[in-house]
Structure 1
Amino acid sequence: MNVLDKDLQQLLASDLEFNRFKDTNFLITGATGLIGSLLIKSILFLNSEKDLNVKVYAIVRNLEKAKGVFGELYNNERLAFVTANLNTDSIDVEDKIDYIVHAAAVTRSKILVEKPVEAMETAINGTKKMLEVAKRDRVRKMVYISSMEIYGRVDSSKKAAELDLGYVDLTNVRSGYPESKRMCELMCNAYASEYRVNVTSARLAQTFGAGILSNENRVFAQFAKSAIDDKDIVLHTEGLSEGNYVYTMDAIEAILLLLLKGKNGEAYNVSNPNSHITIKGMAELVAQNFSKGSKVIIDIPDDSKKYGYAPETHLWLDATKLESLGWNPKNNLTESYAKLIEWIRENS
């Protein structure tokens, strides 16, 4: 078995009541992204192992990309692709939907800076369309995939619980990302209040590990690839921001748990409290543990603003609320990187 197969076996052995998903239909957006694709692969695996008789409708914009992401699973009889642009197209599926996970979002920092209007429109319009489906079909549960970035600048003397929102700079167009995430969470709560839509928000920390896509180029992947090649790890900021992380399969287990137990109209931090470190500290951890001699180099470009790097933050997420539902993350930062690097090597 490869490392992802082992993760799926570990998911299967969890205490989640998977039988509650029996004979249901899922609608998942962002299906070719990291969270969406892993969630779909996990559900299809559980369907096969547990004979759940589920059907997954996966919303994508590009079927060719979907073929590359899903491989042999692309033709799985329990998986149906819906081609749509969430910003402009209507969403129509042939069956009544029981569960929705809305994971689609514009996340590339460069696009968030160069096309902030379109990025915000996609976030808000896409979320509203999913909530309308949830309202129409009276879904059992919808989980909105939010982000730790909604916290902005908070009191760094304590861990940030779900009500501890801070300052977001509205003069910076990059702030369209956290601000639209806030608006989408509020829209979810409005639908919960006015239309009794059963919806929960999952505020994900930076998520990585086995299952990342081949074109992944975020900081965690750059660090891993540099270590594999024994190249220096280059930071384009001082690396003083505090990062919060969660392993891929731990995040998938959290989302499935929220589909079963998340409280209506509430948000939950999805972050491993033992995987909190500065960006520079993480780079040094990778260099020391997974390379033969890589060094950490700081090289800040003169025009760094145009790349849309997130502002320096000092944030430590409190996962107590999610843990109270029974979530127990199993992979710390070092273990997450070990599996990530194993996955990259297996798929290189």
Structure 2
Amino acid sequence: MEEKMAIEDIMSNKVINADMEDIFQRDISLQELYGKTVMITGATGMLASYLIYFIMWLNEKKQADIKIVALARNRQKCLERFGGYLERDYFELRLDDILQPLTIEGDIDYIIHTASLASPQYYGTVPVDVAAPNVIGTYNLLELARHKKTKGFLFFSSGDVYGKMPDGIGGFSEQEMGVMDPLDTHSCYGESKRMGETLCAAYTRQYNISTAIARIGHTYGPTMDIDNDPRVFSSFMKNICEGKDIVLRSDGTAKRPFCYIADAVAAYLLILLRGEAGNAYNVCNTGQFISMNELAETLINIRQDIELKIVHDIKNADNDFVENKDNVANCPVSTKLEKLGWECHFDVKSGFGRVYSFLKRET
């Protein structure tokens, strides 16, 4: 892959700018953020960085005067993500360890906690590192929210909290919950997200902190790291960009709801600003609940210049990747979020088409 685009170019990139405009045009009450301070943890992650791009865009294009306090662990990654914008007056980069109590000067109006090792590649190798930010980190950030009297706290959770739902249940809401073995390798993520949610609800009840929870499903976007992210949709896109056949190491029948990042960012902001305190909201594009085979077929059709095919190679499946095999035919529904005014603008064809355009630097 060619060298990643410098951040000074990214704000004028055709795809990024179109996404920012799409989010802005939605009914989200964004003015509530104007002139406020927003702290975002895990700032270099795909989801968090897109949120930050949008706030940067609001400041640069709409004079929103929002102060960004970005928490991350690696300054170099921040430079790669945000470049010269790190020097803007509205941008404060901090390398705080959220596993330690946080001391930050000044007001913090909103906290968005995204910091987490979400990829299954870590579950079998560094499970403590996976669980700690979701539990200890969440506690420390909620304590900060309590002392700062923040207006809103958004916790990035996951559909993994549902565990294994009954076979054949189909769609399920936030009020339903399946079974999870706390000793299973995969549970370091799902169980710690459950505890993070419990802490959020507890702080709402005991301290009246306005917390809300986004249970995030499969989300993709232009800035996903196709070189290092082993998740299926990222691997597929890497093959498409390199002009290689898509190799499926399963039978391809498992289904997941795929949500484009512009739709997802709009959801996060809605939940932060309109969500009911102590409540969770599914963030998934239920209308794009498709199988891996269907996704692969959609992606190979993005490349009209060459002929690609789908290859099934189950015998060479990667045993180091801890795949979640629960709920392969069940899907969280987004009805509760839709009642806040959320709607999806992108299907997998248009969404992944935008990803491909960005990765190929079609400006």
- 1:331 and 2:346 are equivalent in the alignment: yes
1:323 is aligned with what amino acid? E
For the Cα contact (< 8 Å) 1:2–1:346, is it kept in 2?
no
For the Cα contact (< 8 Å) 1:274–1:333, is it kept in 2?
no
1:207, CA displacement in angstroms? Answer: 0.9
Change over 3 Å in CA distance of 1:54–1:326 after alignment to 2 = same
For the Cα contact (< 8 Å) 1:237–1:298, is it kept in 2?
yes
Superposed, 1:17-28 pairs within 5 Å as 17-28=29-40
1:301, CA displacement in angstroms? Answer: 4.8
Q: Which moved more, 1:294-303 or 1:241-250?
A: 294-303
Superposed, 1:177-216 pairs within 5 Å as 177-213=189-225, 215-216=227-228
For the Cα contact (< 8 Å) 1:25–1:95, is it kept in 2?
no
Query: Aligned partners of 2:183, 2:248: CA distance in 1, in Å?
Result: 25
2:308 is aligned with what amino acid? S
1:302, CA displacement in angstroms? Answer: 6.2
2:201 is aligned with what amino acid? N
1:240, CA displacement in angstroms? Answer: 2.7
Cα shift readout 1:70-93 (whole Å, capped 9, x = no counterpart): 123222211101102222x33222
- 1:249 and 2:262 are equivalent in the alignment: yes
Query: Aligned partners of 2:25, 2:271: CA distance in 1, in Å?
Result: 18
Query: Taking structure 2 as the reference length, what is the TM-score of the superposition?
Result: 0.90
Superposed, 1:297-336 pairs within 5 Å as 297-301=311-315, 304-313=318-327, 314-336=329-351
Cα shift readout 1:29-67 (whole Å, capped 9, x = no counterpart): 010001111111101211233322211100010111100
For the Cα contact (< 8 Å) 1:84–1:90, is it kept in 2?
no
Change over 3 Å in CA distance of 1:70–1:83 after alignment to 2 = same
Q: Which moved more, 1:93-102 or 1:278-287?
A: 278-287
Change over 3 Å in CA distance of 1:290–1:273 after alignment to 2 = farther
Change over 3 Å in CA distance of 1:297–1:193 after alignment to 2 = same
For the Cα contact (< 8 Å) 1:19–1:50, is it kept in 2?
no
Equivalence for 1:236: 249
Cα shift readout 1:138-165 (whole Å, capped 9, x = no counterpart): 1111110111111222133331111121
For the Cα contact (< 8 Å) 2:35–2:64, is it kept in 1?
yes
Q: Secondary structure at the match of 2:212?
A: strand
For the Cα contact (< 8 Å) 1:27–1:56, is it kept in 2?
yes
1:236, CA displacement in angstroms? Answer: 2.4
Query: Aligned partners of 2:25, 2:357: CA distance in 1, in Å?
Result: 22
Q: Secondary structure at the match of 2:123?
A: helix
2:278 pairs with one of 261, 265, 268: 265
Change over 3 Å in CA distance of 1:65–1:214 after alignment to 2 = farther
Q: Which moved more, 1:198-207 or 1:289-298?
A: 289-298
CA RMSD of aligned residues (A): 1.9
Equivalence for 2:124: 113
Q: Secondary structure at the match of 2:103?
A: coil
1:315, CA displacement in angstroms? Answer: 2.2
1:265 is aligned with what amino acid? G
Change over 3 Å in CA distance of 1:215–1:94 after alignment to 2 = farther
1:289, CA displacement in angstroms? Answer: 4.0
Q: Secondary structure at the match of 2:336?
A: helix
For the Cα contact (< 8 Å) 1:60–1:83, is it kept in 2?
yes
- 1:144 and 2:167 are equivalent in the alignment: no
1:214, CA displacement in angstroms? Answer: 6.4
Unaligned 5+ residue runs, structure 2? 1-12
1:272, CA displacement in angstroms? Answer: 1.4
The number of residues matched between the two structures is: 347
Q: Secondary structure at the match of 2:311?
A: strand
Change over 3 Å in CA distance of 1:307–1:212 after alignment to 2 = closer
Query: Aligned partners of 2:68, 2:357: CA distance in 1, in Å?
Result: 29
Cα shift readout 1:101-143 (whole Å, capped 9, x = no counterpart): 0001011222111121232123211111111111111111111
Cα shift readout 1:261-310 (whole Å, capped 9, x = no counterpart): 00000000111122111122211221234353222222235674432122
Change over 3 Å in CA distance of 1:216–1:71 after alignment to 2 = farther
Unaligned 5+ residue runs, structure 1? none
For the Cα contact (< 8 Å) 1:198–1:265, is it kept in 2?
yes
Equivalence for 2:145: 134
Query: Aligned partners of 1:342, 1:235: CA distance in 2, in Å?
Result: 23
Q: Secondary structure at the match of 2:61?
A: helix
- 1:58 and 2:70 are equivalent in the alignment: yes
1:8 pairs with one of 16, 20, 32: 20
